Amino acid sequence: MTPLRKRFIEDMQLHGLAPTTQRNYIHHVAAFANYYNTSPEKLDLEAVRQYQLYLINERQLASETVNGFISAVQFLYLVTLEMPWGKECFPRVRVPYKLPVVLGPQEVEQLFRHIGCIRNRAALMLCYGAGLRISEAVAMRVSDIDSQRMLLRIREGKGRKDRYVMLSPRLLQVLRTYWRAARPRNDFLFPTWRSDRHLSAGAVALACRNAAKAAGLTKHITPHTLRHSFATHLLENGTDTRVIQALLGHASIDTTARYAQVSPQVVAATRSPLDVLAAPRKAPRPRKPQTAG
């Protein structure tokens, strides 16, 4: 490990970046260095600009991926290398606003019926039944399941924040059935053969894609689609937006409010201001002038 890479990792740890973020930053910076076949400390802002254009035009990567690279090199140069540049030197790509894909209740049931592995089904049911991110679902611990209070404790979700979500009776039954069959050897609900590791998010995502294909569902479905569906279905059932915000762990209510845009029931039930206007009255017919007799 080079001294620069070591200090880069230490700086990310000191700033409290999540392990997933640290891995992504290291990946982006390593690819940047390999592209020029030189250490990033010998490169300048023009090199960053040209590599960003390469990612956009030649690699044709998504805007979110390109911006992930910008976040990584911005941290490297401004924090680790302490370059006298401002954040305005690292322009980001405009991310198109897209509404999330949402499944109907029947589509959710159809998806679950085509997941053969009880472990993968339990993990994906956590995403829909409690609105979890896939990273939160696979990292669930047996000790985080509170069957007395019917709650699930989510440890260090996005932003490294803990929160509680509801534990539905059906989800509890699914988790108990899985636990009796798997008998996890440690506190992880979904452990791997290594005692200190849990099931990977990629394995569950692959199972989700295969199940969607087997079920004949044409929508682009990922585990996060189940989280979107959880929020939308709660909204359609009349759950307050603030409650949904707390369950999802959103920092801003604006992030939660977008589910109102994808719920056809909420949109259709919204009264148009046109309907509030009084019905137009018919214009009175002009009277014929009376002539003197």
Residues in the chain: 293
Residue-wise pLDDT tens digits, 203-220: 999 999 999 999 999 999
Looking at the structure, tell me whether residues 53 and 196 fall in a common domain.
no
Pairing of strands 145-146, 163-166: unpaired
Give 269 or 165, the one with higher predicted confidence.
165
Using pLDDT thresholds of 50, 70 and 90, give the confidence band for residue 159: low
Looking at the structure, tell me whether residues 81 and 153 fall in a common domain.
no
133 is an active site residue = yes
Q: Which of 7, 92, 163, 250 is catalytic?
A: 250
Looking at the structure, tell me whether residues 76 and 112 fall in a common domain.
no
Q: Which of 158, 163, 209, 258 is catalytic?
A: 158
Residue-wise pLDDT tens digits, 37-61: 999 999 999 999 999 999 999 999 9
227 is an active site residue = yes
For residue 279, is it within any domain? no
224 is an active site residue = yes
Q: Global pTM?
A: 0.72
Cα distances (Å, whole numbers) of residue 78 to 85, 118, 166: 7, 47, 41
C-alpha span between 224 and 64 (Å, rounded): 16
71: domain CATH number?
A: 1.10.150.130
Q: Which of 251, 210, 221, 18 is nearest to 128 (CA)?
A: 221
Using pLDDT thresholds of 50, 70 and 90, give the confidence band for residue 273: low
For residue 100, is it within any domain? no
Q: Which of 92, 153, 155, 224 is catalytic?
A: 224
Looking at the structure, tell me whether residues 25 and 68 fall in a common domain.
yes
**Region of poorest pLDDT, from 182-186, 188-192, 270-274:** 270-274
Residue-wise pLDDT tens digits, 99-148: 788 999 999 999 999 998 999 999 999 999 999 999 999 999 999 999 99
Q: Work out the end-to-end distance of the chain between its first and last CA atoms, rounded to an integer number of angstroms.
A: 115
Q: Which of 28, 119, 133, 233 is catalytic?
A: 133
Looking at the structure, tell me whether residues 119 and 204 fall in a common domain.
yes
Whether 272 shows a pLDDT value over 70: the answer reads no
Q: Structure tokens of 70?
A: 């910008």
For residue 292, is it within any domain? no
**Region of poorest pLDDT, from 3-12, 23-32, 173-182, 244-253:** 244-253
228 is an active site residue = no
- pLDDT given for residue 253 in this prediction: 80
Where in the sequence is the domain holding 156, given as residue range(s)? 105-268
Looking at the structure, tell me whether residues 257 and 113 fall in a common domain.
yes
Q: Which of 119, 121, 227, 228 is catalytic?
A: 227
Cα distances (Å, whole numbers) of residue 25 to 29, 116, 134, 229: 6, 35, 20, 30
